[in-house]
Structure 1
Amino acid sequence: MNEAKSGSATASHKGHRQRLRDRFRKTGEQGLADYELLEFLLFSALPRQDTKPIAKALLQRFGSFSATLAAPRERLKEINGLSDVSVDTLKAVHAAIVRYHKAELDERRLLDSWSKVIDYLQVSMEHSTVEEFRVLFLDKKNGLIADEVQQTGTVDHTPVYPREVIRRALEHSATALILVHNHPSGDPTPSRADIQMTQKIIDIAKPLGVEVHDHIIVGLRKNVSMRGLQLI
């Protein structure tokens, strides 16, 4: 009797996966709810497990599909049923999304592709649980030379060293910069310290022929341009 029930459960499990695959092939991601797409992503990493309760637990814990993919590895491993391999799968998907958006910037003049710049920064940073300060180094045609995370801090502070930023700009032979950092609180409103730090970098950069185009602050599903706010 128990073997019959086990066989029935296995058949139902396989049938559910096949139906989900068929629907995905027919409709793409539009035909799947967030938890179903997470299920689908976990199929290969967890071939013998029912991934539906795991997917629903992920969304309940992290609040959204994008936040789940961006969640720190250690927090993902707290979800019952997730293995190291399944966590690798989710982190690889997030890395692929970030890589896709970054590729959209390659060999482009960034100021002519501003929406793509913002998309890349939002995907890369909006769900980070600590502050990160990064710099996009540009050439004289506003092409991207390098994208570097300069500092990583705490939940509400990142130490920034203006002279180090300019030193890296000179090493890259950059003529312009876009400064970026995130606010893990979700509110991208610039603080007084943000404004003062930006001005220090501008003051050091200008005599050396390096222009600061903007300082973008990334929050949850929104961002702020300091130039847009006329703060620089």
Structure 2
Amino acid sequence: MTDNQDKAEHATGLAESAPHYHGHRERLRARFRDAGPDAVSDYELLELVLFRAIPQRDIKPLAKQLIAKFGSFPEVVAAPRARLKETKGIGDAAVDELKIVHAAASRIARGQVQKRPVLSSWSSVIDYCRTAQAFAEKEQFRVLFLDKRNQLIADELQQTGTVDHTPVYPREVVKRALELSATALILVHNHPSGDPTPSRADIQMTQAIIEIAKPLGIDVHDHIIVGKDGHASLKGLRLI
């Protein structure tokens, strides 16, 4: 047998023994690279994220299982660590990769809000609010504190509650605004049910904050409620 024949047979043997998913990974990467992100589905994008964390396994079934369990790519990356790890095959390394993607998306969205006056980039505000907490499994109450030019001074998560309630203390919200020398606020919270329709309690809490803040020269521009099914603006609905 010649050296060339030996090398050819060795290469053939390696090709035959290589796991089938190696070719799938390269094809998927090539499609993403050449055709762009819209050319891959949610579960395929999830595969791309998990390739590095799970190098020795076909993860297409796992990616499909995660999408089936949580609903979509954004819901998977935003899911709590404990719930992600309930899925067989998902360990700390895989969860870390998903959480890095979620953090990166939030940073990018927040950067768009910080660049210019908030009221002139309202769509960026909504995008940021939805990215930050639309898919959270518990209610979270967030406040965007603005200066006199309506630029973001601080973005703070004030409270985390249960699946349908977050305790909010209006005087504490206004006290924090004074500490930051904020002259305006945007209130944000999520509805884990997915439906962003404001409740009576949401409206009453917003009005209580407005009543305390207004005599101190602090405006409440809006209260935005986000959920998987969209968002609602109390100002847009003429509820404040």
In which range does the TM-score fall when normalised by the shorter chain? over 0.9
Provide the C-alpha distance between the structure 1 equivalents of 2:228 and 2:216, rounded to a whole number of angstroms. 35
1:13: Cα distance to partner?
A: 2.2
Provide the C-alpha distance between the structure 2 equivalents of 1:130 and 1:38, rounded to a whole number of angstroms. 24
Counterpart residue number, 2:215: 207
- Asked if residue 69 in structure 1 is aligned to residue 82 in structure 2, the reply is no
In the alignment, is the contact (CA less than 8 A) between 1:122 and 1:221 conserved in 2? no
Provide the C-alpha distance between the structure 2 equivalents of 1:127 and 1:141, rounded to a whole number of angstroms. 31
- Asked if residue 83 in structure 1 is aligned to residue 91 in structure 2, the reply is yes
Counterpart residue number, 1:170: 178
What are the ranges of 5 or more consecutive residues in structure 2 without an aligned counterpart? 1-11
Aligned pairs for 1:131-150 (under 5 A) are 131-150=139-158
Structure 1 pair 5/181, CA: closer, same or farther in 2 (3 Å)?
A: farther
Q: 1:197 aligns with which of 187, 200, 205?
A: 205
1:9: Cα distance to partner?
A: 5.6
Provide the C-alpha distance between the structure 2 equivalents of 1:96 and 1:130, rounded to a whole number of angstroms. 21
Provide the C-alpha distance between the structure 2 equivalents of 1:6 and 1:77, rounded to a whole number of angstroms. 34
Aligned Cα root-mean-square deviation (Å):
1.6
- Provide the secondary structure at the position in 2 that maps to 1:21: helix
What are the ranges of 5 or more consecutive residues in structure 1 without an aligned counterpart? none
Letter matched to residue 97 of structure 1: A
TM-score by length of 1: 0.95
Comparing 122-131 and 8-17, the one that deviates more: 8-17
Letter matched to residue 187 of structure 1: D
Counterpart residue number, 1:151: 159
Larger Rg, first or second structure (1 or 2): 2
Provide the C-alpha distance between the structure 1 equivalents of 2:78 and 2:161, rounded to a whole number of angstroms. 17
Runs of 4+ in 1 over 6 A off after TM superposition: 4-7
Letter matched to residue 78 of structure 1: E
- Asked if residue 92 in structure 1 is aligned to residue 95 in structure 2, the reply is no
Counterpart residue number, 1:51: 59
In the alignment, is the contact (CA less than 8 A) between 2:195 and 2:229 conserved in 1? no
**Percent identity of the aligned residues?**
62
1:228: Cα distance to partner?
A: 0.9
Aligned pairs for 1:113-128 (under 5 A) are 113-128=121-136
Counterpart residue number, 1:188: 196
Counterpart residue number, 2:39: 31
1:10: Cα distance to partner?
A: 2.9
TM-score by length of 2: 0.92
Counterpart residue number, 1:111: 119
Number of aligned residues: 229
Q: 1:22 aligns with which of 25, 30, 38?
A: 30
